[in-house]
A = this chain, B = another copy of it.
Amino acid sequence: MLYQTKIRMIEIFKNMQAVRHKFVVSQKVYEAFQQCSGDYNPLHTKVEFAKEKGFKECVMYGNILNAFVSMLIGECLPTKDVMINSQDITYRQPVFLNDELDAELTVEKIYESVNVVDFKFRFNNVNGKTVARGHIQISVI
């Protein structure tokens, strides 16, 4: 892409509204994550194990939320011409099967000269509790 076009692209992020999206950790999402990761740790697959550890049922994989972050970046921004440079996430509350999560993604900083944007995000559950939060840095490509 031409330099001038990239400059215009980065402008899009300057007045970007917060991106909001609702995700459901459905059975389909849960099984697809297992297929993708190969992770069958008992905390996520054996209800008795999860109960022993003090949870009401199996805890969902935290990295399902990182898959949702991928979708927020890949599909919900005002341009598709983006690529993730780095990201972090902190888990604060357990997520369970069929939980509805309300995601919010907001611009934190724009580095115009290198076409880079920093975002922060959080996922809230239906009780309004933040279950995870973090940061993502993207390049406009």
Enumerate chain A interface residues (CB-CB to B < 8 A). 1, 28-29, 32-33, 35-44, 53, 59, 61-64, 66-71, 73-75, 80-91, 141
Contact present for A89 and B90 (CB under 8 Å):
no
Return A63 CB to nearest CB of chain B, in Å.
Answer: 4
Q: How many copies does the complex hold?
A: 2
Contact of A84 among B40, B62, B69 (CB under 8 A): B62
Contact present for A74 and B41 (CB under 8 Å):
yes
Excluding A29-B35, A37-B68, A37-B70, 20 further A-B contacts by CB distance (< 8 Å) are: A28-B35, A29-B36, A32-B35, A33-B36, A33-B67, A36-B64, A37-B71, A39-B67, A41-B73, A42-B80, A53-B141, A59-B83, A61-B74, A62-B70, A66-B67, A67-B67, A84-B91, A87-B88, A87-B89, A88-B88
Tell me the complex Cα distance, A91–B38, Å: 21
Known: A63-B66, A84-B91. A75 touches B38 (CB 8 A): yes
Known: A83-B43, A84-B91, A86-B90. A61 touches B53 (CB 8 A): no
Chain B residues lying within 8 Å of A68, measured Cβ to Cβ, are: 37-38
Chain B residues lying within 8 Å of A73, measured Cβ to Cβ, are: 39, 41
Task: Identify which of A36, A70, A88 gathers the most chain B CB atoms within 10 Å of its CB.
Answer: A36
Chain B residues lying within 8 Å of A63, measured Cβ to Cβ, are: 63, 66-67, 69-70, 84
